[in-house]
Amino acid sequence: MKKPATAETAESAEKRILRILGELSVLCGKVSHFLTGPEALVALLLLAGAPASAAPAVPGAIDVAVAARSIQPGELVVFTVSTMQPVDGVRLHAFNREIPAFKEDALRWRALVGVDLAAAPHAYHVTIEAKSGRQSMDTGYDLHVEPRRFPTRTLTVDDAFVNPPAGVLDRITKEARELNAVWTRSAPGRLWTGPFAAPVSAEAGSSFGSRSIFNGQARSPHSGADFPSPAGTPIEAPNAGRVVLARNLYFLGNTVVIDHGLGLFSTLAHLSVLEVQEGDEVLAGRIVGRVGATGRVTGAHLHWAVQAGGARIDPLSLVALLGRP
């Protein structure tokens, strides 16, 4: 005889969940290892055919793909996070910092994870979290950073840039503090649009990451790429963003820093003239200044440095991954 409809509805929600849990544990013994708490019940209801509107995507159903030139110090790693159902937000946690993701389309998010040029070779755990309403799900990815040997370069510059006179030490300290503050204040959304391009057409030297010996003394590694280009060559914004710094700095000379949003910054240094002001919104390709030889240099060139979430990365890795195909 057919069971009356009331018998089914009379079964309490709790009992039904327990029954489903029991059935599922037979089918997939591993389920309880990654599903705990009330979310697990909701998720299991979803697996058991509960209406999709009852809960967001199934935990564990996050797919992660990674693109990079190599997984090494100074390289950009682009994470693509795909979910089964639309989610409200995705964020990553890597290298002891939060890395925001941006929406690519309804089911795909991207995040730029920079491996700092001083990162030690090691397996770094990346946590990926997707949120939908009050539900959240996460997964992990191990980034195996391989060792990288950087060359050493020997340069001769004005001694005032190797052993600065006492009179400029305060200025140097203040500028370092100001730059550090700049890196902490990126726009919360993506300001860049379309592909990244080098700011000048010259071929870059492969000086990124070089251990630098100035006048026989070791200084911090070179955190940008140098483009040998004649003085006066126009410098174009590598992509859209907001000019957050446009002034003369002791070591970098005339400098423009563009905030591309989400923790991504371009620094353009040693300019002869600045053609933008702090606060300006720039589009990709906008001329921001001219190549020069201001600050600690041996001659006219453009120094382009990129920071991604606090990591110093080779600008050429940014162009390789997010440049014109």
| Residues forming the site for Zn ion (CB under 5 A) | 224, 226, 303
Separation of alpha carbons 186 and 163, rounded Å: 33
Say how many CA atoms lie within 13 Å of 230 toward its Cβ.
2
With CB atoms as reference, the residue minimizing the distance to Zn ion is 303
Q: Which is nearer to Zn ion, 236 or 314 (CB)?
A: 314
**Close Cβ partners of 39 (under 8 Å, ≥ 6 residues apart):** 59, 135, 136, 137
Q: Which helix (H) or strand (E) holds 104?
A: strand 102-105
Smallest separation (angstroms) from Zn ion to the CB of 179: 15
Q: Which is nearer to Zn ion, 241 or 253 (CB)?
A: 253
Smallest separation (angstroms) from Zn ion to the CB of 115: 20
Smallest separation (angstroms) from Zn ion to the CB of 303: 3
Q: Which is nearer to Zn ion, 73 or 224 (CB)?
A: 224
* Residues comprising the chain, all counted: 325
Separation of alpha carbons 123 and 108, rounded Å: 25
Smallest separation (angstroms) from Zn ion to the CB of 277: 24
Using CA of residue 36, residue 39, residue 42, residue 47, what is the dihedral sign?
A: negative
Q: Which is nearer to Zn ion, 56 or 224 (CB)?
A: 224
Question: Which residue blocks in the chain are alpha helix, DSSP H?
Answer: 5-10, 13-27, 31-34, 37-47, 166-183, 315-322
Smallest separation (angstroms) from Zn ion to the CB of 73: 17
Q: Which is nearer to Zn ion, 59 or 315 (CB)?
A: 315
3-state secondary structure of 44: helix
